[in-house]
Amino acid sequence: MAQQPNADLSVTAERLAAWNTPERRRASFRSLHLIHRRGLSFRAAVVRELEPAPDPAVAATPGLRDLTENPAFSGLAVVRDGRILFERYAPDFGPEGLHSIQSITKTFVHLALGRLIAAGLADPSQLIGCYVPEAGAAYAGASLQDALDMAIASNFTDDYQAPYFPPPAKGEPVGYARQEIAMGWRLPPPGEHEFGVRDFAAGLVPAPGHVAGQDTLYASPNTDMLGWVIERASGRKLAEHVGDIIEAAGLAGSFHISADCQGVPVLSGGGVMTARDLARYGLLLGRSSAFLADAMSGAGTCYGGASNLRYRNHLLSNGTWIGHPGYAGQFLMVDPARQAAAAFFSVLETPHGDQDGYFAAVIAVIERLMAAVR
């Protein structure tokens, strides 16, 4: 008797995986590590202790109450060094709850590749094709820095409405729905074989007539290509680098990450952890380094049309803080000078997990939180 397709990974008429439909998204973000087809998990040997130390000044931040009472809200943890200054959760969530961090996972590239660059094992000005000859037309002639800054123009589009089935012809727009097949977040269309994140990235081509300029050309395959570079430049499996980062961050719980059909960790968006652990990870991300200083220097691409936000070295920064957003409402902000981090979880239940002005409002409140940290 033929087996039925996995209902969670099946595709709706709106081209969304069933788990990612608005009515299921909130629950799915807390169980993505059980939904994806394959995954890896890591635990730190030594936990970085965090002691509750509520700060009234942080709790009194203007706009904080509106943020935490928004129906989309799930959780927020604000830490400085080893102290939890503020923590709040929605009634249906809690401090032990796991949550998808989506594209915040991309920041693992900053840590792993930054270490290789510091050790002289990778050069951001070098072409990707020098490390990965199989990189394909969109990437072989681009530099590591181009990929780090999201400055590569390809036929990838971060859009669920782009062609999904039948597979787009070579050179036609390739949408995010196709990448989810590679990530193990949806089943391939009937009759089509599964493929991994590296094969997906290597199949992209330069966008005809589009020259990469100053604006951020956000594309998740850039991250997976850089993961390939990390592996080749270091001579170590990408999963080993992920394990090193989890150890260094001292996470208290398990960190889960999606893996593709070849066992490659999906750094473009596959991470799952608690809010406290994301804050712990943020403290690691904010440790001083030349690579971090460069990310905060004002170089890079202009993000989202905001003149004060730059995307550099796989981080978002305004020159004071670093951070990264995640699909449907996640945000991590770190203030390296204050040794403080804020991990924010929410789930937008709109058709495609977006809402005009939402992230700008979230960032504005968390900036005020960081300013209140003493």
In sequence order, what are the residues at sequence separation of 6 or more whose Cβ sits closer than 8 angstroms to the Cβ of residue 236? none
- Local confidence band at 6 (pLDDT 50, 70, 90 cut-offs): confident
Distance CA 55, CA 85 (A): 5
pLDDT at residue 14, rounded to an integer: 73
- How many domains does one find in the chain? 1
Model pLDDT for residues 80-136, shown as the tens digit of each residue? 999 999 999 999 999 999 999 999 999 999 999 999 999 999 999 999 999 999 999
**Amino acid in the structure at residue 351:** P
pLDDT at residue 102, rounded to an integer: 98
Nearest to 309 by CA among 288, 329, 331: 331
**Residue 333 falls within a domain, yes or no?**
yes
- Local confidence band at 2 (pLDDT 50, 70, 90 cut-offs): very low
Rg (CA), the chain: 20
**Residue % of the chain over a pLDDT of 70:** 97
pTM of the full predicted structure? 0.96
**Residue 9 falls within a domain, yes or no?**
no
Of 160-164, 192-196, 305-309, where does the model show the most confidence?
192-196
- Local confidence band at 164 (pLDDT 50, 70, 90 cut-offs): confident
Distance CA 204, CA 190 (A): 22
**Residue 6 falls within a domain, yes or no?**
no
pLDDT at residue 212, rounded to an integer: 65
Mean pLDDT along residues 286-293: 97
Mean pLDDT along residues 332-338: 98
**Residue 4 falls within a domain, yes or no?**
no
Q: Which two tokens stand for residue 139?
A: 């990437």
Structural domain boundaries enclosing 309: 18-372
CA 128 to chain centre: 21
pLDDT at residue 269, rounded to an integer: 98
Q: Which two tokens stand for residue 59?
A: 């709790």
**Residue 11 falls within a domain, yes or no?**
no
Q: Which two tokens stand for residue 360?
A: 């700008």
Q: What is the CATH number of the domain that holds 242?
A: 3.40.710.10
CA 86 to chain centre: 23
pLDDT at residue 4, rounded to an integer: 55
Distance CA 314, CA 329 (A): 18
Model pLDDT for residues 216-232, shown as the tens digit of each residue? 999 999 999 999 999 99
